[in-house]
Structure 1
């Protein structure tokens, strides 16, 4: 299957087609949205947005005359007909999700339904909360000789995770683990994480990353429940569990004078 788009967003000016643009708004701050996303919002005829998760400041990019539809109280059965009807009427529709659409956004079911209705669509990525949180912490989550993998996951709740992806089994890797949608189940989360991570493993408890009221607490894993319950965090909370958050001085090979590669030979460096 070949995917293509008719627009050329990088050119600076483009006209939107009558189709659905599934767009990631990023973690919350308007200036953390991609340039392509900003251009889509500036020109869209209709914006169908997750108003419980997308801060209102994001809508400042939209046209004054654009139709804006919040979906917090809607179901898929009411959202889809709106988007399909608008596209069939010749309008461009931005379906605005928080973060990045590839993570916990329920776009799979929307894509299937749009395809069945023969409605054109395009997915435009956004920055995820784990990326914004790491940036706020001035942290690299992959430190040489310490941790080289990042796991993005959640604990079972209303939506079960597959048995092969239970949190305790993923914790066994002791990778940088980014735990989404789990604040309501923080006791079970901490219990499973402690089966493999040491109690003093750093955890960043990140609330509403990218929003004006953003807060981050950096604590040992053993205090993850205490902080969550003390601050009454029940939603819009991300946990970063990683030894990288307390890494000692380290050096990668990438810019090491002894490391040669396609663009830099060891002889050139020494010379």
Structure 2
């Protein structure tokens, strides 16, 4: 059995209880060493075989999984954040299907959740933004048609941009070209929930300079949107005048 486990956004205690339990009993762990906090491996058994996928190809990862399966061993494939986001797990699962090896997926806390926590910001706010776009700049991995930064940024809402910290000058240029205001609030969150987490608040027009001033080149998310300005209107949900299935409406406001 192979378990794809989301390691969480960085802090070792942000892995799920299920993921932690699987790590503790695993015979083999293949982990994304370039991104996952190594402290998570401290719970592994002394005789657990541990492999760092940062130095491996897909074929080498699959070979380890196949070899473990032939020996009747339990494998944890430990990915950063939540494995459904930029985790490259689909190609692994497709290969396991062809090999007839059973697997499951354990979700994790994505880094975009960690970034929102670090910013102490709700990414959706009444009357400001009810949509969150999770995306990245085109790089060696191209963007499908209609998913380029200009197209997505022009739709408004809150944006969380992955894998783009090394190209903040181009990101700033594309956001401005899409019609985002230079004064719109933005933030760069470096290594959200890690001990060396750093939050840099700025604007769309100062993204590149803020990144350069703080020597940010990787392991950071960019958040863009008016929700970062604060002063969020009160929601209807807990308004006394708003009736729900659990609470009648009351006259006046609290």
Which TM class, normalised by the smaller chain length? over 0.9
Q: Which one is further off, 92-101 or 261-270?
A: 261-270
Kindly indicate whether the alpha-carbon contact (under 8 Å) linking 1:207 and 1:216 is maintained by their aligned counterparts in 2: yes
Deviations 1:175-217 (A, max 9, x none): 1100000122222211111132211111110111122221110
Query: Aligned pair 1:102/2:76, yes or no?
Result: no
Query: Aligned pair 1:24/2:9, yes or no?
Result: no
For 1:249 and 1:100, locate their aligned partners in 2 and report how far apart those are by CA, in whole Å.
28
Kindly indicate whether the alpha-carbon contact (under 8 Å) linking 2:240 and 2:250 is maintained by their aligned counterparts in 1: no
What SS does the corresponding residue of 1:178 show, helix, strand or coil? strand
Q: CA RMSD in A?
A: 1.6
Which residue of 192, 198, 215 maps to 1:232? 215
Structure 2 stretches lacking a partner, 5+ long: none
Q: If the length of structure 1 is used for normalisation, what is the TM-score?
A: 0.89
Indicate the residue corresponding to 1:203 in structure 2: 186
- Return structure 1 stretches of 4+ with deviation > 4 angstroms: 267-270
For 1:254 and 1:79, locate their aligned partners in 2 and report how far apart those are by CA, in whole Å.
48
Deviations 1:95-114 (A, max 9, x none): 00001111001001000000
Query: Aligned pair 1:62/2:30, yes or no?
Result: no
Indicate the residue corresponding to 1:162 in structure 2: 144
What SS does the corresponding residue of 1:69 show, helix, strand or coil? strand
Kindly indicate whether the alpha-carbon contact (under 8 Å) linking 2:7 and 2:36 is maintained by their aligned counterparts in 1: yes
Aligned residues: 252
Kindly indicate whether the alpha-carbon contact (under 8 Å) linking 1:44 and 1:66 is maintained by their aligned counterparts in 2: yes
Which residue of 155, 161, 164 maps to 1:182? 164
Q: If the length of structure 2 is used for normalisation, what is the TM-score?
A: 0.95
Q: Which one is further off, 257-266 or 107-116?
A: 257-266
Kindly indicate whether the alpha-carbon contact (under 8 Å) linking 2:129 and 2:157 is maintained by their aligned counterparts in 1: yes
For 2:198 and 2:69, locate their aligned partners in 1 and report how far apart those are by CA, in whole Å.
39
Which residue of 216, 224, 227 maps to 1:241? 224
Kindly indicate whether the alpha-carbon contact (under 8 Å) linking 1:143 and 1:247 is maintained by their aligned counterparts in 2: no
Q: Which one is further off, 87-96 or 188-197?
A: 188-197
